[in-house]
Amino acid sequence: MSNPKVTASILPAQSLLHQRLLSTDYLDCYSVDSDLSPRRAAEIITNFPGWVRILLHIRHWLTVPFGLLRDGPDASDKVGLFPVESETESELIAGFDDRHLDFRVSVFSQDGRVSLATWVHPHNFGGRLYLAAILPFHILVARNALARVGSA
């Protein structure tokens, strides 16, 4: 089995994340060849491998004193930990607002490509510090997630 090629890309023009984006926000986007639906790709993305689960446990342990949400808010429709905010034939957006930042992920499927975009709007210095601390891990997790989508 070959390794799927995950590439940095731009947020698809039709993505609803564009409605949220401010100049001070963080946004990244990666894509891979895949014909999966946004829902199926999101299920694979949020089915974290063991090493990511360990990182999440460390994150939970470190952030408990700051009152950050551990597993996201309750919702009737979730992918992994993330409440689904909107879903169309081509895009699923999930995420939530927390004390330190708001974030959403977009899983966009079109023309044989699946894109995974992450939008983050920090509220304060703590949010910007948190984002800077997790960013190297986030990039590894996002690229690994899309490689798993490309292998499905």
Q: What is the pLDDT of residues 114-140, one digit of tens each?
A: 999 999 999 999 899 989 998 999 999
Domain-located, residue 39: yes
pLDDT for residue 32:
98
Spatial neighbors of 136 by CB under 8 A, at least 6 apart, are none
Number of domains forming the structure of the chain: 1
List the CATH number of the domain containing 50. Answer: 3.30.530
**Most confident stretch, 53-57, 77-81, 97-101, 102-106:** 102-106
Q: Please give the structure tokens belonging to residue 88.
A: 């169309």
Q: If DSSP codes are grouped into helix, strand and coil, which group holds residue 3?
A: coil
Q: Which structural domain, as residue segments, surrounds residue 79?
A: 7-151
Domain-located, residue 55: yes
Domain-located, residue 1: no
10: number of Cβ within 10 Å: 11
Q: What is the pLDDT of residues 79-94, one digit of tens each?
A: 988 999 999 999 999 9
Higher pLDDT, 2 or 40: 40
